Copies of this chain bind each other. A is one copy, B any other.
């Protein structure tokens, strides 16, 4: 595989390819052309071929992609077949919702422990994940070396906790706190900004309203 710079836009499309291929596979589809896949995803066929060419040779001219093979290959690129341990910091409503409904295992993540400061939550278990006191974090990390931490704590606690997690060896932060975290550049922060998504919707309905009025 040739090494080359891979743009952020390409990286962000990979999980979407993975998700669409997953859905097609679950519906029993075996092969798909880049033009059909592109139509479903709202990108061009050439965009798909170009994106995938960053990672190697996929598909066969005129035959399209084998869905199981392409899905497995994209999963490998995304690292889902490398088991990594993940912990959840903050078991309030959002943390609880993720513990209860989100399929961490599908992304290759092992999750058995969450942390919180609330005595009402410590010791409880959600969907097989035990909630521990935040005071136990250092001891847990020393033994289990989690690679990723999910931050669903109050804003005021976010930066200090992020620094502590990085010092404990965490290499990725999935950040729901809406705080722009400042951490060592060798650590990856993936921010979930709900507002960006809602404002995109706001733009679309507002333009639509404008069109209707004229």
Contact = CB atoms under 8 A, between A and B. Distances in A.
SS class of chain A's interface: helix, strand, loop or mixed? helix
A204 B188 contact: yes
Given A171-B208, A194-B98, A194-B102, A14 B79 contact: no
Contacts of A193: 15-16, 19
A204 B98 contact: no
Interface in A101-151: 101-104, 106-109, 147-148
Interface string A67-91: 0000000000111101010000000
Residue of A11, A92, A102, A195 contacting most chain B CB atoms (<10 Å): A195
9 contacts: A8-B42, A9-B9, A79-B203, A79-B205, A94-B101, A106-B195, A172-B204, A186-B208, A188-B205
